[in-house]
Structure 1
């Protein structure tokens, strides 16, 4: 009996530790929803057949159907951000649209003008002439949300009109390979086709995101939806309102994460910094002297450990400003200043064709199983290399050698040997002979032929 009484006391104590709300069910969002619904609009667009570019099923939260008289009719959502009729939605909702119709909460239908759109972040701005005084949303702080917070999503699923769903923040900073600046909020609030462009609210009634995509095998909600953080949206929308387009900062490099092997070889902490894997010819970074193989440790006062974060920070810098970088090169920290330019329409970081280097003048390094060649101005031009490229070109690899087994191929560039620069064959031979004398492998840092990745390896030499 005493044991039973003890268990009852423990259970009662455990129940009392939970909040009262948890005992009596979920909170009601009725008052909040009633206030917010007038700020959300339904959007339909008409796109002619010759412009149709239908996305993969379930790739975003847009809905669509085909009208044989009008063409494709796409359905989506949006929300009012100003009393004079500016509305935010997703770019994929209005992409290639000839006509954009907006239906307000009271079923008033008006035609909208497209102010501008940004495909990279899937954000668009449209405008209507207000038929009456409009309610508008209030922006919140998407950085302040926490995993587990309640959120509301309002949209136009399947063209049904204003629908409210609730859920929680399931995760933050999700990269779903939708674009170069992915930083999604993940939620289990239902986001279905037609919900794209609608707002995600916190429990204060503030917009913290744009419902944008859903993860699904059927195209319908499976409890995994994604929203673009509003803190990213504000910067984009200001530019769209001013000029109809988004201008981004650009310094002309490609970067890759710092792996454990690379970090260990460079005497850095795991994942510290990011690796410069390619340089655009005549770009700002090339002019400043940045090189493939450099490790970017910080930008200004911000430590850099993420390629996405670095790309976003550079993109948000205006043309003419200076990016103050701290890099790790040759076992030393160096400051370097790069002048930011406007990103070209289609930036290319050192593209190259199939490598066919001239074999004359190359010297076979029998000890390594590689044929290496010094990089001349002619090779830089023919192979479209960055003028700042420093290293030796792999002109050939002997079949069955350790270089062959480790995947080294023609067109790769040896950036460093034993953590030291090597730009001449004589220097390379010196490093090889030192390794042979000490009876150890040769440490190589290699940029691949496509100039988009850097690797390190230990090459076994012949005795």
Structure 2
């Protein structure tokens, strides 16, 4: 036994050496791989002349008295230094800051961004926020040539803009690729004007697709770890074939610099917007005329939909295209114009991208069965006004209504006094909520006094007894939740699923 030990030790030492050699081989290959594919340089060289800098200026009123601060592009390394210097220096009269006691004087502010040429006739795509409110816009070509540009059209909802300028020489234009074909981990290249350093090339991978970061109604960003910084806005994101697959629009960063969380509008969206802006100077989006909400697991269980999917129709516009097509509140849209609808955002994007006036098939689930409806789309009118929820004033002098409890709610018949107290329109029918148990599921789902229950389990109700009867029956049937159709005072509907056990 003892004689075998030296041989075993020698074998272990040899194995250790072999493992060390193997590890060294693996480690030595990492730096070479980390540089990325060899094609990056070739691609960048091919497309860089199509990438431009966007310079804008705007006249603003500013207080005089402390001397003019040099106009530096946002993100410039010297911006913070000059900002501190001019704000903290003493101006005339000894006042600190130099801006007290002075007169308002017009001055120019400058900013820089990025863009790219999509037509050799001088058509440029950039972000709307790069050129918003600008009095003058200039396009700076890769060789330094500076040309004045004008706005063809903008779309605030996707933060895109199209510019046009007169080419001083033959231009290089780039084409859009198919962003839907991007794969996670695929290499991409960002070219732009970060911190005023024009013609900067960075590379990274596609970190995620279809990101919704609550920046707009049609969020579906490409996430990338390619370095994107201030000044990159409006610049292109390329695949290795030199096709534009996105427009770099924003970053998430606590410092203002790149931490590997950059977001680009996908080319599929950009191409459609650019086409319409060139044709019409504005966006003409499709309109279905419904209000929709998420199909939660509880709502899906109540509607016998497995798995939870689609967009739940909470309301139908009386003047919209969905009304004559027979789409009703409670329908769940699972397919639109041949495209699957996974959630409400999907439906919003698909409808908006569909041509106005086109007849499409809409597949809905109604009471557990699939039905197909044909709808001719209308045009969505832009409305940036936010609808305010009517306040529900307290009126302690009104006669206390007769109430009944169910589902953690105090329920009462809709009387004239209650309509007046909670500002309920005459067109709203159902049972009014006069109180909510703070520890109930209803409170968690944000039901409140003044809400009106219109339907329970897709059946209309007119009094509290109807609701209690329906809930008791669902309990006997072993249901875990009940689906309520709830209206506010203005008649706007939403669905709420509450636990019944």
Aligned with 1:30 (options 32, 37, 41): 41
Unmatched tracts of structure 1, length 5 or more: 52-60
Distance 1:105 1:365, change over 3 A: same
Query: Could you state the TM-score of these two structures normalised by the residue count of structure 2?
Result: 0.76
1:117 aligns with 154
Are 1:181 and 2:218 an aligned pair? yes
Are 1:228 and 2:239 an aligned pair? no
Aligned with 2:488 (options 446, 449, 452): 449
Shift of 1:340: 1.3
Aligned with 1:41 (options 43, 49, 52): 52
Aligned mates of 1:452, 1:62 — CA distance in 2 = 45
Aligned with 1:333 (options 370, 380, 404): 370
Aligned mates of 1:315, 1:375 — CA distance in 2 = 41
Aligned mates of 2:277, 2:271 — CA distance in 1 = 10
Shift of 1:239: 0.4
| Residues 303-330 of structure 1, C-alpha deviations (whole Å, 9 max, x = no match) | 2112221111101122222342222233
1:431 aligns with 470
Contact 1:393 1:411 in 2 (8 A): no
Aligned mates of 1:194, 1:4 — CA distance in 2 = 56
Shift of 1:393: 3.8
Contact 2:114 2:231 in 1 (8 A): yes
Contact 2:424 2:488 in 1 (8 A): no
Partner-residue secondary structure (3-state), 1:285: coil
How do 1:368-407 residues align onto structure 2 when only pairs under 5 Å count?
Answer: 368=406, 370-373=410-413, 383=424, 392-397=430-435
Aligned mates of 1:195, 1:434 — CA distance in 2 = 60
* Alignment RMSD: 4.0
Name the stretch that deviates more: 275-284 or 296-305.
275-284
Shift of 1:7: 5.3
Name the stretch that deviates more: 231-240 or 345-354.
345-354
Contact 1:62 1:196 in 2 (8 A): no
Shift of 1:353: 3.0
Aligned mates of 1:171, 1:323 — CA distance in 2 = 30
2:11 aligns with 2
Shift of 1:42: 0.5
Are 1:87 and 2:124 an aligned pair? yes
Contact 1:212 1:228 in 2 (8 A): yes
Aligned with 1:412 (options 448, 451, 464): 451
Contact 1:370 1:403 in 2 (8 A): no
Query: Could you state the TM-score of these two structures normalised by the residue count of structure 1?
Result: 0.82
Shift of 1:109: 0.5
1:145 aligns with 182
| Residues 195-242 of structure 1, C-alpha deviations (whole Å, 9 max, x = no match) | 111111111221111111011112222221111111111111010001
| Residues 277-335 of structure 1, C-alpha deviations (whole Å, 9 max, x = no match) | 33334333344443333222222332211222111110112222234222223343333
How do 1:165-244 residues align onto structure 2 when only pairs under 5 Å count?
Answer: 165-244=202-281
Distance 1:208 1:398, change over 3 A: closer
Contact 1:153 1:190 in 2 (8 A): yes
Aligned mates of 2:438, 2:179 — CA distance in 1 = 55
Name the stretch that deviates more: 273-282 or 206-215.
273-282
| Residues 394-445 of structure 1, C-alpha deviations (whole Å, 9 max, x = no match) | 152377896976654233232432x241243375465367569999998341
Aligned mates of 2:122, 2:479 — CA distance in 1 = 70
Distance 1:293 1:25, change over 3 A: closer
Partner-residue secondary structure (3-state), 2:299: helix
Aligned mates of 1:375, 1:444 — CA distance in 2 = 24
2:96 aligns with none
Are 1:275 and 2:312 an aligned pair? yes
Aligned mates of 2:207, 2:19 — CA distance in 1 = 32
How do 1:311-322 residues align onto structure 2 when only pairs under 5 Å count?
Answer: 311-322=348-359
Are 1:421 and 2:451 an aligned pair? no
Distance 1:72 1:452, change over 3 A: farther
Partner-residue secondary structure (3-state), 1:234: helix
Shift of 1:357: 12
Aligned mates of 1:447, 1:211 — CA distance in 2 = 41
Contact 2:313 2:332 in 1 (8 A): yes
